[in-house]
Amino acid sequence: RDIQIYAPVDGRGGNPLQHSFEVFYARNPLRRLRGAMGGLRLMAAFYGELWRNLRLLRRGLAAARRFCPEALAVLGGGAVSVFYEQLGRQLPRGTVVSVGEGEPLLEKLIRGESLAAERCFLAGEPPRPGLIHEQPGGMEKTACDYDFIASIWPQLDWYLEAGDFYVGVQTKRGCPHNCCYCVYTVVEGKAVRVNPVQEVIAEMRQLYDRGVRGFWFTDAQF
């Protein structure tokens, strides 16, 4: 969400929608000036964080290649899926940019299979025209195996220590609607795919056993 600087939410940098309205519609010139300064601060914070994250990505990739010269980075998520054309020009050449669902892509990557049929492209090469509008293939999502995740990533429990937060659980993907302000239909597709109930419960059970008591459902459509 932080990458969408004009989203009408109170983020760490303030309220971008409020600043925009003050600049364009306020009658008081001082209020307009306040909105302009607030907008500039937001843009500086946004671009500063974006550039910092890009530097971290390059440093991490360079460090990985000291031990494994064939290492590559895979980048995905909602914001990357929406702004893939802009980010693709700034990422290290050869980075796999995933648009939409990434699980099938990661499976093929691990198996050494071709990624030609996946919704992705390599940074430094032009993406397929209309990549964001391609519909994802159907897949059945199983429960996350948190025991396995903890075995390869010991820091997982650090994120669960506080206990005063909510952990997202997804029961379905896709949305059949076409709201003008929403990007879920192009990220997850318009076909609603319901995850098996027993898998959703199994995932929540694992989190509950790890001390999580707050859950929120991250579905695109309710």
What pLDDT, in 10s, does the model give residues 20-72? 889 999 999 999 999 999 989 888 888 898 899 999 999 999 999 999 999 99
Q: Do 48 and 101 have their domain in common?
A: no
Q: Do 47 and 92 have their domain in common?
A: no
Rounded (10°) angle between helices 16-25 and 29-67: 140
As a whole number of angstroms, the distance between CA 120 and CA 103 comes to 12
Helix (H, G, I), strand (E, B) or coil at 7: coil
Overall number of domains in the chain: 3
Domain boundary among 86, 107, 134: 134
Q: Do 1 and 24 have their domain in common?
A: yes
- Residue with the bigger pLDDT between 53 and 162: it is 53
Backbone angles phi and psi of 120, in degrees to 5: -160, 170
Neighbours of 194 (CB within 10 A): 13
Any domain includes 63: no
As a whole number of angstroms, the distance between CA 95 and CA 101 comes to 17
Any domain includes 67: no
Which domain, by its residues, includes 184? 146-217
As a whole number of angstroms, the distance between CA 206 and CA 222 comes to 24
Give the model confidence (pLDDT) of 99-139 as tens digits.
988 888 999 999 999 998 899 999 999 999 888 888 877 77
Over 70: is that where the pLDDT of 207 sits?
yes
Cα angle, residue 165 at apex, residues 48 and 184 outer, rounded to 5°? 60
